[in-house]
């Protein structure tokens, strides 16, 4: 099934403006900081060893891949957009991050990587763009390539921020797929990922929650 974000980020204007439009304003910087803080809390919660291999998919322009590489993790960033991959390679090169990071065009619905390859799989700002049936395929792929831990951002239906953004998204023609806490539990359970803990990006306001999960082996996948 097709969905807008699958092809939208191949447009060079969108790619070139991706960081400046989202993360350069004070508001953007704060949100970026809060999202990274939630990821950091999740990593600390499981005490993810420093040498762990992490898949960041989709990596976009690389803010999360680079953040994780700076912490000493070995990071593979993937994105379906070759233009995004060119941009993230350029960004990593500019700050001298080539050694700990690798970037490659990857489709999250059919990841070209071996089973159980990564210690952790991280996916930010993706599940709001993906319809439930796509998310299920993606989650199954994450579960297949991931050994143990999963860190995803989900977007909460009827949160204050989602309600405030709803009209704007509709007017801009941005399809959006928010979920309830129950949906998160069900989706993760269906693919054999056990929810460990939820880290809200900004409690009582933000639509974004960072969800930490662990592979459960009961579905016979491993």
Ligand X SMILES: C[S@@+](CC[C@H](N)C(=O)[O-])C[C@H]1O[C@@H](n2cnc3c(N)ncnc32)[C@H](O)[C@@H]1O
**Residue 63 near ligand X by CB under 6 A:** yes
Contacts with 211 (C-beta within 8 Å, 6 or more apart), sequence order? 150, 151, 152, 153, 154, 184, 188, 195, 197, 198, 199
Closer residue to ligand X, CB minimum distance, 111 or 188: 111
**Residue 58 near ligand X by CB under 6 A:** yes
Closer residue to ligand X, CB minimum distance, 53 or 112: 112
Query: Contact with ligand X (CB under 6 A): which of 126, 142, 152, 154?
Result: 126
C-alpha 220/C-alpha 222 separation (Å) is: 6
Stretch that binds ligand X, among 2-10, 46-54, 68-76, 179-187 (CB under 6 A): 2-10
Closer residue to ligand X, CB minimum distance, 58 or 213: 58
Residues 80-109 interacting with ligand X (rule: CB under 6 A)? 80-81, 84, 106-109
What is the per-residue burial (b if ≥16 Cβ within 10 Å, else e) of 40-64?
eebbeebebeeebebbbbbbbbbbb
C-beta of residue 195 within 8 angstroms of C-beta of residue 172: no
Stretch that binds ligand X, among 66-74, 95-103, 123-131, 195-203 (CB under 6 A): 123-131
Query: Contact with ligand X (CB under 6 A): which of 48, 76, 97, 124?
Result: 124
Range 41-45 contact pairs with CB under 8 angstroms and sequence separation of 24 or more: 41/199, 41/210, 42/151, 42/197, 42/199, 42/210, 42/212, 43/71, 43/151, 45/196, 45/197, 45/212
**Residue 60 near ligand X by CB under 6 A:** yes
**Residue 178 near ligand X by CB under 6 A:** no
Residue ranges that bind ligand X, judged by CB under 6 A: 5-6, 9, 57-60, 63-64, 79-81, 84, 106-109, 124-126
């Amino acid at each position: 099934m097709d969905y807008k974000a699958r092809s939208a980020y191949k447009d060079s204007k969108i790619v070139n403006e991706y960081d400046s439009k989202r993360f350069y304003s004070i508001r953007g910087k704060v949100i970026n900081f809060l999202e990274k803080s939630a990821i950091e809390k999740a990593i600390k919660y499981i005490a993810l060893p420093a040498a762990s291999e992490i898949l960041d998919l989709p990596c976009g322009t690389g803010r999360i891949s680079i953040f994780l590489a700076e912490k000493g993790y070995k990071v593979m960033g993937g994105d379906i957009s070759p233009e995004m991959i060119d941009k993230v390679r350029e960004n990593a090169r500019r700050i001298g991050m080539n050694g700990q990071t690798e970037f490659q065009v990857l489709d999250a619905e059919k990841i070209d990587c071996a089973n159980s390859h990564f210690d952790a799989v991280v996916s930010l700002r993706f599940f709001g763009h993906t319809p439930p049936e796509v998310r299920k395929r993606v989650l199954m792929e994450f579960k297949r390539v991931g050994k143990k831990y999963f860190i995803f951002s989900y977007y909460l239906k009827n949160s204050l921020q989602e309600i405030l953004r709803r009209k704007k998204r509709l007017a801009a023609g941005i399809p959006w797929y928010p979920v309830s806490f129950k949906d998160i539990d069900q989706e993760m359970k269906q693919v054999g990922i056990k929810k460990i803990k939820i880290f809200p990006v900004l409690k009582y306001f933000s639509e974004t929650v960072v969800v930490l999960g662990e592979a459960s082996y009961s579905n016979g996948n491993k």
